[in-house]
Amino acid sequence: MHRNVLVEEIQKKRSYLTVGLDTDPDKLPLHIKELPNAVFEFNKQIIDATRDLCIAYKINTAFYEAQGTKGWQAMEETLHYIPSTHFKIADAKRADIGNTSSYYAKAFFETLPFDAITVAPYMGEDSIRPFLEYENKWAIVLGLTSNKGASDFELQPSGNELLYQKVLRTVSSWGNKNNLMFVVGATKASELSQVREIIPDHFLLVPGVGFQGGSLSEVSKYGMNKDCGLLVNASRAIIYAGNKENFASEAREIALQYQAEMSSLM
């Protein structure tokens, strides 16, 4: 998806909500668990209930890969069911030596029609480069994450700046605002002003709003740019809002609350 199309969808829907399809088979409503294609059926109903309120869906591939062939099939079916108007993210956190990364890129950009994939920058430019060679596809690089272990490396000094700042500054030169995004956790909202000093124009994928306690208003205040520049992800808070037969309508209610707040913040 081209950046202009993504920005147009955000403006049209007055939303920068990304729904995370981190679908755990053990957490499905009982009436869904009984179905042979339970994960896909659950995802299908979530998508139907939220598609007019969000601009992107993020599939965390671990939840599907853990189920083997059955899970991979459910992921493919889910991906193909997501409307073409929506930005489709593979939260797969790949990146390896160049030749291997080229096959990861082929898997998620050609065999599977994702628009973007999350990648880890630790191995350097040659591990990221293959993902940047696809037109209208995106590499979403881990920048400043919301997990406890972020302090082990990301927040450590590196010269006259912190390591995550060096990552943002260095990686941003490998591509451009049309093919690179960065992950910045919502629980790190206080650092968003510093992030924007380094990468003012890039989109940020922001997890951590919802169950992890991140503030949407704080993220928007410090992270938004002239194109909005934010994809704010909510997973469990939306998809597990209910666990009865009306789970999809419960999910819609939470998504609507996010969308309404986003509209007021734009």
Q: What percent of the chain has pLDDT over 90?
A: 92
| Mean pLDDT value of segment 107-113 | 98
Q: What angle do CA 76, 77, 81 make, to 5 degrees?
A: 115
- 1-23 b/e (C-beta count within 10 Å ≥ 16 → b): bebeebbebbeebbbbbbbbbbb
Residue 143: pLDDT band with limits 50, 70, 90: very high
Q: Band the pLDDT of 101: cuts 50, 70, 90.
A: very high
pLDDT at 129 over 70: yes
Residue 216 predicted with pLDDT over 90: yes
Q: State the chain's mean pLDDT as an integer.
A: 95
Residue 3 has pLDDT above 90, yes or no: yes
pLDDT-derived band of residue 214, with 50, 70 and 90 as boundaries? confident
* Calpha distance 125→5 (Å, rounded): 27
The pLDDT assigned to 246 comes to 96
Beta bridge partners of 230: 204
Mean pLDDT for the stretch of residues 28-56? 97
Q: Which of 44, 70, 93, 177 is the catalytic position? A: 93
Q: So what's the pLDDT on residue 187?
A: 75
Domain ranges within the chain, ordered by starting residue: 3-265
Asked if residues 182 and 175 have their Cβ atoms less than 8 Å apart, the reply is no
Predicted confidence at residue 191, as pLDDT, reads 87
pLDDT of residue 232: 97
pLDDT more than 70, % of the chain: 98
Tens digit of each residue's pLDDT (9 = 90 or more) over 65-85: 999 999 999 999 999 999 999
Residue 146 has pLDDT above 90, yes or no: no
Strand partners, 234: 19
DSSP state of 240: T
CA dist., res. 23 & res. 36, Å (int): 15
pTM of the model: 0.96
Active site residue 13: no
| CATH numeric code, 3-265 | 3.20.20.70
Q: Per-residue confidence at 209, pLDDT binned at 50, 70, 90?
A: confident
What's the pLDDT score for residue 93? Answer: 97
